[in-house]
């Protein structure tokens, strides 16, 4: 031992600022036990960010293991949890990699840059798997739409997502925008990216081969984002959070665009042994994780890290979360070719160290050894907490307060229009028009379709012709999860699974972003444990594995947490994109058919929320077997060409599905209902879809439904200029459209 490390050993009682960096006393004591001495300042920086909640999953790990232990067998799964993103086989030699992550707290502090760098970070996760990113999506949640805080945050978030994604030339093919007072001060900005690669070209975050060089390439390192995601995502938010602006990263999408093309050429040249993106925890994360997954050691000279600010100290270099950076492990003989490719793309690249087999991560600064640690202790052996949890004190009362006591409306026409023009059900065109949904010309379906869909054939240069495509959807419902987190998580998965299936794609794999309050609150921890248990059980029943994701804790202000909000993304595959099923009614003279069963289920519904501001009772029943059967019918019907249009039933029930189906192409419909019309129109029972079937295909379609035991009810036919529910209501399609389109522009301009 020499220099800083030696001095640390000789001064065991010197105070260290571990508490200021978010470490608990017992965590700091464990670091000292691992090292056999107190840490240096640089070592403390590494452990503080790597053992943060955001990076180590220390409060969630014990529950997340269910995704592996209960995982269904899937031959399509090529890379599962534990890497930067999951990878699945989608046929014809192709693989897709996708993942969703949060950038919640940074987006509250600085909406534009917080959201923009959230997109940049998830895109680099996809790049690091060896893939070309081909599309993005986002799942957004804000406070009440008319709240001043929402008017501050939402435009900046949308602008940041739009700016970064549009500059990268990546289509934004779908997502969510949800408003609820519980998200005031704690918006959720969850970003998803999907990429394509040949199934035999997967890259991993590993540093094998002593003597191989460690190359840092991309943007230089600056003071922006020091402790950013790792610190901001590991603490609750108070009013002084605006003082944390320096901890928000600043993005440069033009550098990232160069980085994408540079990485793809490096992969094609086979000059990359292992690769890791630099996101949360920056150099600390990249070096420890690469070394831990390789031959165990690495030597790094921090003086060689290119700096945008030469005054940065080594601790700041290690904690900086400056964007658009990657770290590669390269064979010495390949360094000239590696550097030449980087130079071609104007991407700065510097060798900062090399791989060793010592089992130690050693870093120097000005000739002194400032870090000497076993890398696995930082990357993989952080604290694991079995946090206490129990059902919230008011849960039973919440569930007992059912919507049954709420007065039912007499005017169902007015109710439909009120819901259709409410912030959560209104048109998202004000948001999505700011995104480029069709850049690269491979987008087959995008908002407002139920799921985004991309063709594969021209997505990458040199691709073999194929008719295949992939479909993606993200969904979640915090009100459902508040009422029952187990069922709420299953309903989020069910809706995303159903949204993919209604396009004709077969659901294949899952990613998730789990947004909750403080894990130190036993009631929040109960919500989290139940949601994870529900999602794992549902994935097992539906036969779709979790490929990876993200946990975002501390989404609360003071003691007030957001509604538990598990957001689920589902990826599906369609053999021929020409057989995709568009959303809604596509022509006149089609049979309108309702699939599934409708019960009286209003707990957590949009009707209760909009009409009465009510949240209570139980959410709709999650019927996973019915969801699987429904998906099988929808996928097979698409293959046979039996359906001309489809739409899932979810928020707002059949009434909203009918209205949106009419607005999709300006085609009206006349339908007749049985039973109580209010329940038929506004119940939110799950496992249901609306389809439009040609008259001559109806018999075959009904037989297919019978084979899968899926209830199939003919409601009426498409045609005319109005939505007519016989004996109940009649609304011109143009009035539906005007009501639907007006809400968000009226609020946000």
Choice among 63, 103, 163, 647 that is catalytic: 103
234 is in an annotated binding site: no
| pLDDT average per 10 residues of sequence, the chain (749 residues) | 83 93 94 96 95 94 95 92 94 94 94 95 97 97 96 97 96 97 96 96 92 97 70 41 52 96 97 94 94 91 95 94 96 98 98 96 96 95 95 97 95 98 97 93 94 80 76 98 98 98 98 97 98 98 96 92 98 97 97 98 98 97 98 98 98 98 98 97 98 97 98 98 98 98 94
Specify the pLDDT at position 243: 40
105 is in an annotated binding site: yes
101 is in an annotated binding site: yes
Please tell me the distance from the alpha carbon of residue 484 to that of residue 228, in angstroms, as a whole number: 33
Specify the pLDDT at position 458: 56
Q: What are phi and psi of 653, to 5 degrees?
A: 70, -155
323 is in an annotated binding site: yes
Q: What is the 3-state secondary structure (H, E, C) of 199-252?
A: CCCCCCCCCCCCCCEEEEEECCECCCCCCHHHHHCCCCECHHHHHHHHHCCCCC
125 is in an annotated binding site: yes
Specify the pLDDT at position 496: 98
552 is in an annotated binding site: yes
464 is in an annotated binding site: no
Distances 293 to 84, 335, 374 between C-alpha atoms, Å: 13, 22, 12
Global pTM value: 0.95
Please tell me the distance from the alpha carbon of residue 518 to that of residue 667, in angstroms, as a whole number: 48
The verdict on whether 112 is a catalytic residue reads: no
Choice among 54, 63, 609, 614 that is catalytic: 54
Please tell me the distance from the alpha carbon of residue 526 to that of residue 534, in angstroms, as a whole number: 12
395 is in an annotated binding site: no
- The alpha-helical segments, DSSP class H, found in 96-147 are 104-109, 111-127
CA 418 to chain centre: 30
103 is in an annotated binding site: yes
DSSP calls for 281-343: THHHHHHHHHHHTTTSEEEEEGGGS-BSSTT--HHHHHH---SSEEEEEE-GGGHHHHHHHHH
Omega prior to 448 cis, within 30 of 0: yes
The secondary structure element, H or E, covering residue 501 is: helix 485-501
84 is in an annotated binding site: no
Tokens of 648: 């899932």
Residue 719 gets the label, from left (phi > 0), alpha (psi -120 to 50) or beta, of left
Residue ranges of domains in the chain, CATH in brackets: 1-69+203-383 (3.90.650.10), 582-749 (3.90.650.10)
490 is in an annotated binding site: no
605 is in an annotated binding site: no
Tokens of 207: 């540093």
Tokens of 566: 């598990």
Per DSSP bridges, beta strands 669-671 and 689-693 are: unpaired
159 is in an annotated binding site: no
The verdict on whether 103 is a catalytic residue reads: yes
224 is in an annotated binding site: no
């Amino acid at each position: 031992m020499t220099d800083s490390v030696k001095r640390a050993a000789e001064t065991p009682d010197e105070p260290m600022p571990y508490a200021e960096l978010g470490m608990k006393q017992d965590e700091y004591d464990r670091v000292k036990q691992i090292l056999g001495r107190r840490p240096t300042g640089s070592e403390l920086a590494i452990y503080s960010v790597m053992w943060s909640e955001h990076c180590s999953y220390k409060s969630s790990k014990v529950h997340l293991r269910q995704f592996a232990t209960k995982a269904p067998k899937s031959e399509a799964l090529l890379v599962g949890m534990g890497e930067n993103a999951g990878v699945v086989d989608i046929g014809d030699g192709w693989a897709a990699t996708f993942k969703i992550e949060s950038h919640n707290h940074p987006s509250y502090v600085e909406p534009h840059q917080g959201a923009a760098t959230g997109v940049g970070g998830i895109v680099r996760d996809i790049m690091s798997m060896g893939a070309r990113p081909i599309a993005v999506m986002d799942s957004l949640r804000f406070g009440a739409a008319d709240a001043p805080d929402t008017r501050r945050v939402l435009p900046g978030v949308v602008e940041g997502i739009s700016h970064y994604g549009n500059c990268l030339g990546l289509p934004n093919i779908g997502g969510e925008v949800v408003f609820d007072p519980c998200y005031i001060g704690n918006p959720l900005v969850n970003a998803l990216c999907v990429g394509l690669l040949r199934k035999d070209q997967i890259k991993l975050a590993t540093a094998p081969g002593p003597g191989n060089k460690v190359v840092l390439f991309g943007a230089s390192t600056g003071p922006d984002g020091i402790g950013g995601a790792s610190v901001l995502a590991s603490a609750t938010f108070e009013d002084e959070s605006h003082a944390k602006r320096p901890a928000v990263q600043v993005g440069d999408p033009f550098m990232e665009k160069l980085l994408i093309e540079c990485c793809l050429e490096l992969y094609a040249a086979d000059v990359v042994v292992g690769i890791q993106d630099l996101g949360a925890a920056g150099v600390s994360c990249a070096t420890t994780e690469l070394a831990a997954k390789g031959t165990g050691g690495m030597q790094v000279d921090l003086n060689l890290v290119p700096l945008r600010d030469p005054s940065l100290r080594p601790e700041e270099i290690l904690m900086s979360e400056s964007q658009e950076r990657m770290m590669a492990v390269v064979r010495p003989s390949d360094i000239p070719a590696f550097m030449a490719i980087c130079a071609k793309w104007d991407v700065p690249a510097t060798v900062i160290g090399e791989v060793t087999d010592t089992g130690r991560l050693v870093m120097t600064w000005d000739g002194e050894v400032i870090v000497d640690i076993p890398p696995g202790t930082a990357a993989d052996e952080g604290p694991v907490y079995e946090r206490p949890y129990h059902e919230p004190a008011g849960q039973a009362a919440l569930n007992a307060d059912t919507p049954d006591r709420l007065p039912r409306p007499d005017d169902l026409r007015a109710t439909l229009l009120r819901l259709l023009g409410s912030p959560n059900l209104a048109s998202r065109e004000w948001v999505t028009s700011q995104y480029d949904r069709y850049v690269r010309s491979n987008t087959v379906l995008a908002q407002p379709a139920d799921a985004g869909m991309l063709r594969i054939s021209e997505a990458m240069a040199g691709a073999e012709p194929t008719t295949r495509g992939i479909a993606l959807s993200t969904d979640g419902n915090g009100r459902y999860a508040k009422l029952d987190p187990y069922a709420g998580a299953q309903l989020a998965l069910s809706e995303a699974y159903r949204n993919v299936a209604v396009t004709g794609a077969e659901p294949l794999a899952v990613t998730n972003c789990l947004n909750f309050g403080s894990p130190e609150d036993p009631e929040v921890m109960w919500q989290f444990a139940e949601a994870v248990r529900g999602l794992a059980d549902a994935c097992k029943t539906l036969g779709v594995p979790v490929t990876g994701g993200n946990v975002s804790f501390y989404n609360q202000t003071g003691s007030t947490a957001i509604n538990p909000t598990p957001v689920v993304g589902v990826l599906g595959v369609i053999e021929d994109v020409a057989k995709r099923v568009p959303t809604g009614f596509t022509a006149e003279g089609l049979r309108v058919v309702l699939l599934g069963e409708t019960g009286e289920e209003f707990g957590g519904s949009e009707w209760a929320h909009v009409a009465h501001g009510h949240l209570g009772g139980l959410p709709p029943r999650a019927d996973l077997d019915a969801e699987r059967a429904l998906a099988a019918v929808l996928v097979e019907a698409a293959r046979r060409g039996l359906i001309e249009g489809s739409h899932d039933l979810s928020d707002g029930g059949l009434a909203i599905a009918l209205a949106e189906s009419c607005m999709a192409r300006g085609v009206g419909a006349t339908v007749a209902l049985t039973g109580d019309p209010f329940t038929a129109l506004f119940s939110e029972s799950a496992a249901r879809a609306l389809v439009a079937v040609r008259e001559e295909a109806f018999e075959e379609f009904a037989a297919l439904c019978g084979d899968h035991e899926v209830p199939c009810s003919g409601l009426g036919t498409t045609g005319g200029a109005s939505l007519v529910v016989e004996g109940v209501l009649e609304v011109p399609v143009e009035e539906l459209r005007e009501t639907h389109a007006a809400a968000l522009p009226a609020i946000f301009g």
